[in-house]
Chain A
Amino acid sequence: MRSMIIVPGRAPAWVRDQVRLAADGLTDDGLVLVAQSDAFEAPVHLPGTLGASTLLGVSRTGFPIWTGRRLAIWGMRRRQDRTVVVLFDGARPVTALGAALVARVRRERVTVNDLRSPERRQSAWSRLLGRATCAVAHERVASPRPQPDVRRALVYAICNHDRAFAELVVKTATAMSAETAVGWRFVIQSDDAAVTSVVSESLGSDFVSVEGSPQVDILHACDVVVVAHGPHDDLAEEAAREGAAGVIVGHPIADRMTRRLDGVFVTRHDVSSVIVALESARGRLYGEMRPAPEIRRDAEALLASVRGLALA
Chain B
Amino acid sequence: MTSFRLAKGGLIDRATELSFRFDGKGFTGHPGDTLASALISNGVHLMGRSFKYHRPRGVISAGSSEPNALVELREGGRKEANTRATVVELYDGLVARSQNRWPSLDFDIGAINALASSMFVAGFYYKTFMWPKSFWEKIYEPLIRRAAGLGHASREPDPDKYEKSYAHCDLLVIGSGPTGLMAAVAAARGGARVILADEGAALGGSLLNENEEIGGVSGLTWAQGIIAELGSLPNVTLMPRTTVFGWYDGNIFGAVERVNDHVLEPSLYEPRQRYWRIIARRAVLAAGAEERPIAFGGNDVPGVMLASAMRTFANRYGAASGKSIAVFTNNDSGYRTARDMTAHGVRVEVIIDSRADAKADAGGVPVLRGRKIVNVKGGKGVAGVELDDHTHVPCDTLAMSGGWSPIVNLACHQGAKPRWDAAIAGFVPPDVGPAFTAAGSAAGKMLLSECLADGAAKGALDGKLPQVATCRDEAFAITPLWWVRESTGKAFVDYQNDVTPKDMPLAAREGYSDIELVKRYTTAGMATDQGKLGNVNAIAILAEATGKTIEQVSTTTFRPYYTPVSFGAFTGPFTGHHFQPVRKTPLHEWADEEGAVFVESGLWMRSSWFPREGEDWLAAATREVITARERVAICDVSTLGKIDVQGADAGAFLDRLYCNTFSTLAIGKARYGLMLREDGIVFDDGTTSRLAEDHYLMTTTTANAARVMSHMEFCHQALWPDLDVQYISVTEQWAQMAVAGPRSRATLQKIVDGIELDDATFPYLAAKELTVLGGIPARLFRISFSGEHAYELAVPADYGSMAARAIMQAGSEFGIAPYGVEALSIMRVEKGHVAGSELNGTTTAADLGLGKMMSAKKDYIGRMMAQREGLTDENRQCVVGILPVDKSDRLRAGSHLLKRNDPPSMANDQGYVTATAWSPALDRWVGLALLANGRRRHGEIVKIFDGLRNIHMYGEICEPMHYDRENLKLHA
Q: Do A and B form a real pair?
A: no
List residues of chain B with CB under 8 Å of any chain A CB: none
